[in-house]
A and B are shown apart, each in its own frame.
Chain A
Amino acid sequence: MIRPVLLSVWLTAPLLAATSGVQPSISFNRDIRPIMSDTCFHCHGFDSKTREAGLRLDVREEALKPTKNDLIPIVPGKPEESEIIQRIMDPGDPMPPETMHKNLTPAQKELFRRWVAEGAVYEPHWAYTPLVKPEVPRGQKVTNPIDAFIQARLAEKKIKPSPEAEKTRLLRRVSLDLTGLPPTAAETAAFLADRSRNAYEKQVERLLASLHHGERMAVWWLDIARFSDTVGFHGDQNQRIFPYRDYVINAFNSNKRFDQFTAEQLAGDLLPNPTSEQRVATGYNRLNMMTREGGAQPAEYLAKYGAERVRGVSAAWFGSTFGCAECHDHKFDPIKAKDFYELQSFFADVKQYGVYNDYDYTPNPELKGFSNDSPFPPELEVESPYLATRYARANDELAALVASLRQRVADPAAAVRFGAWSGETRAYLGRVPSGWEPIRDATSEFRLRDKVLPERTVEFEADGTLRPDKPLGFRESLRLKFRPDEGRLASIRIDVGLVPEPPAKKRRSSPQPLMPRVSVIGADGKARELPWAYGEATAKAPRYENGFELHGVTAGWRLPEVKAPENLTAVWVLAEPVALQPGESLQLILTGGELPAMRVTTSRLGAPQPLATASSATLAKLTAPNSAASPDGSVIDAWLASTREDSAGMVRYHRAVAKVSDTHGGKAMTMVTEAAPPIPVRLLHRGNWQDETGPLVTPATPSFLPGRLESTPDQRLTRLDLAQWITGRDNPITARAVTNRLWAMYFGIGLSAVVDDLGSQGELPSHPELLDWLAAEFRDGGWDLRQMIRLIVTSATYRQSSDYRAELREADPANRLLAAQNPRRLEAEFVRDNALFIAGALDVRDIGGPSAKPYQPAGYYAALQFPDRDYVNSDADAQWRRGVYTHWQRTFLQPMLANFDAPARDECAAQRNLSNTPQQALTLLNDPTFVEAARLFAARLAAGGKDDTARLRSAFRAALARDPKPAELTALTTFLAAQRATYRAAPAEAEKLLRIGVAPPTTGDSAELAAWTQVARVLLNSQEVITRY
Chain B
Amino acid sequence: MNPFDANRHALSVNRRTFLTQSAYGLGGLAMALMHQKLAAAGAGGSPGAPVTLPPGWSGALREAHLPVKAKRVIFLCMAGGPSQFETFDWKPKLKELDGQAFPDSFTKGQQLAQLQNAVLKARGAFTAFKQHGQAGTEVSELFPHIGSIADDLCVIRSMQTEQINHDTAHAFMNTGSIIKGRPSMGSWLLYGLGAETQDLPGFIVLNSQGKFGLQPISARQWSSGVLPSRFQGIQFQSRGDAVHYVGNPEGVCQSTQRQVIDEVRRMNGLLADETRDPEIATRIAQYELAFKMQSSVPELTDFKNEPQAMLDLYGVKEPGDGSFASNCILARRLAERGVRMIQLYHRAWDHHSDLELGMKAGAKEVDQATAALITDLKQRGMLDDTLILWGGEFGRTPMGQGSGRDHHINAFSVFIAGGGVKAGTVYGSTDELGYRAQENPVNVHDLHATMLALMGVDHHRLNTKFQGLDVRLTGVAGNVVKGIMA
Contacts and interface: CB of A to CB of B under 8 A. Distances in A.
Nearest to A111: B24
A23 B228 CA distance: 38
Interface string B329-360: 00000000000000001010000100000000
A755 B4 contact: yes
B44 interface: yes
Given A157-B20, A761-B468, A907-B180, A756 B4 contact: yes
A815 B347 CA distance: 49
A760 B468 contact: yes
Interface string A7-39: 011101101100100011110001100100100
Interface in A910-948: 911-923, 925-928, 931
B468 A754 contact: yes
A101 B278 CA distance: 33
B131 interface: no
B250 A993 contact: yes
B45 A13 contact: no
Contact of B116 (A111, A361, A757, A922): A361
B14 to A, nearest CB: 10
Contact of B19 (A8, A19, A23, A103): A19
A615 interface: no
Given A761-B465, A891-B220, 5 more contacts: A323-B467, A862-B239, A903-B181, A912-B3, A971-B263
B274 interface: yes
A332 B23 contact: no
Contact of B290 (A754, A921, A1022): A921
B25 to A, nearest CB: 4
Interface in A750-781: 750, 753-757, 759-763, 766
A757 B468 contact: yes
27 contacts: A24-B21, A30-B22, A295-B352, A321-B468, A361-B113, A753-B12, A804-B278, A811-B20, A814-B48, A822-B1, A822-B47, A857-B240, A863-B207, A864-B216, A890-B218, A911-B3, A913-B5, A914-B3, A915-B45, A917-B230, A925-B249, A927-B244, A979-B259, A990-B251, A995-B250, A1022-B267, A1023-B283
A708 interface: no
A1014 B22 contact: no
Interface in A990-1029: 990-996, 1010, 1014, 1017-1019, 1021-1024, 1027, 1029
B264 interface: yes
B467 A754 contact: yes
Interface string A808-847: 0111111110001011110000000000000000000000
B445 interface: no
A921 B228 CA distance: 16
Given A904-B180, A922-B244, A1027-B279, A928 B249 contact: yes
B210 to A, nearest CB: 13
B213 to A, nearest CB: 11
Nearest to B12: A814
Contacts of A825: 45, 47, 279
Interface stretch (A264-272, A436-444, A741-749): A741-749
A235 interface: yes
A873 to B, nearest CB: 14
A899 to B, nearest CB: 8
B214 interface: yes
A654 interface: no
A922 B259 contact: no
B23 A925 contact: no
A698 to B, nearest CB: 26
A444 B282 CA distance: 74
Contact of A19 (B11, B20, B293): B20
Interface in B272-297: 274-280, 282-283, 286-287, 289-291, 293-294
A958 to B, nearest CB: 15
Contacts of A757: 467-468
A994 B252 CA distance: 11
Interface residues of A, number: 153
A114 interface: yes
Contacts of B5: 913
A456 to B, nearest CB: 26
A899 B245 CA distance: 11
A362 interface: yes
B340 to A, nearest CB: 16
Query: Which 6 residue pairs are nearest across A and B when measured between Cβ atoms?
Result: A748-B1, A761-B468, A993-B251, A295-B113, A822-B1, A906-B180
A291 B25 contact: no
Contacts of A1024: 267-268, 271
Nearest to A920: B286
A967 interface: yes
A926 B247 contact: yes
Interface in A274-315: 289, 291, 293-297, 300, 304, 311, 315
B317 interface: no
A295 B165 contact: yes
Contacts of B111: 297, 300, 690
Given A757-B468, A863-B216, A996 B249 contact: yes
Contact of B241 (A294, A300, A857, A909): A857
A893 interface: yes
A233 B167 contact: yes
B390 interface: no
Contacts of A972: 263
B10 to A, nearest CB: 9
B121 interface: no
Most buried by B among A759, A802, A989, A1021: A1021
B451 to A, nearest CB: 20
Contacts of B28: 12
Contacts of A1019: 267
